[in-house]
Structure 1
């Protein structure tokens, strides 16, 4: 019956994230990954000053290997003590791999400032969850940025971690978190990271390819269940999913835009440089602060639809491995 522990750990980890968000008072592994990336970049740039691509690739190998080794070693040690100790650690690592509640918490901070029409406060709140420059955003652009982030992070923060937890348990889930963290820190298309961060960006694109497409379809299904415009979500998804500069982000974002009947995307500034971005969806109506709440509902609806599938995949893999 040991094969039942894997799916149970995923389900309990999801529940803990739903109820509590990031564990209070406990350093999150992503912070450790971030520290390793920051220090590793400094060291590898000095060691390989004339080969940025190799230095960036070595950093990717280092961070993902450390994440795999530490999580695997922790599980191996815990299960060596007892099945319940191992199960407890597995639940904890599954919890750490997910970030639906923290996404809700941060995006609701934007919502509360937007409702008050506090533009300065809304800009500050959204700056915590987006990579673009926020100092000159209008209130409408702030709301759009928050909605886009919720839609994109349905894949990055929930569906993709569940996907990799299902396939390989917490060690593979932590490897995915490492890949995602690498991309968020060095995967930019600017002068500093265009070459150094290329491997990280490409690996993140590959890791999210299937989860992003699953996320879009789940969002369309959630729209139908929750009373949003699922027919329009499917239409906009088919029409606009390939317009985004990212090979993956346009999938959940276009589905979300269609479900809500709004336009997302458009030009944005990153590190002082203007980037032309396509518009996803039709501006059937102006955006409003309530769209942030609606995006959160769609995010949770899609997540709950995928959870049983992830647990089932983990059950089958565990059953086969136990035979």
Structure 2
């Protein structure tokens, strides 16, 4: 049976699609260095360099840098490639921890992957690229031990997401999206997913004109906007994929602009614009920025991540049901 490590490897291999891997500019055709390996050979080379315990590795520094740039584009290919290359050092350790504490190996490896990805996000600002892989490995091992030693506080992802959504609702907000669903088991992942979508729609109804939401959904349903790829939909989503005849799921952030200007981002973060520009020059601004023309822009997904706003995947039907119920 495949576990989290296997899923990461399969995901990365699919993302690179059998093409030569270029860690310099992400396009072998445009790279001045003409010799490029396919992913499996590239992965082996990365593992060997990491195992050599060099103080710094240009290959790993380039992988981390490419991962940061890919994150800004909304592409997780290189971030997951870093995780996949690190799993070679975690496989044996996960097996030892599983045997020592009689813990489920699949659970341990899932926690390792989650911890590594959390560390990737946490080290986005202020951490040298050369230190990122080591910190990800350390966090993964610590998470594995924590998972193995604790058996009494388990909960499903769906439950925790529902609780998080409820906790984030404003105190004066009295509409509970679960009220739309009657006589249903909230622990069912499909139901929990539906509640999340309706809760999101109920909140949007307060701040976004309904005609804008409806127009956005119409674009999704008619194919004028790309839907979330099937590989990103969970098993519970696939059971509801054809609610409206197609996979119309989308990220909550897809409704917002891809980039916002630095002054707007600074205002949201409670930073004076002048201080924001100084922080960008010093490399201490909380979110990665990019130049567009003569203006600094901040990637919306990065801003949401820093503010701990979950970028959930929702279905238009659920969002519209929640908005209608709230109105």
**Comparing both structures, which one devotes a greater share of its residues to helix?**
1
Larger Rg: 2
Specify the TM-score bucket, using the shorter chain as the normaliser.
under 0.3
Higher normalized contact order (CA 8 Å, seq sep 6+, divided by chain length): 1
Query: Normalization by structure 2: what TM-score?
Result: 0.26
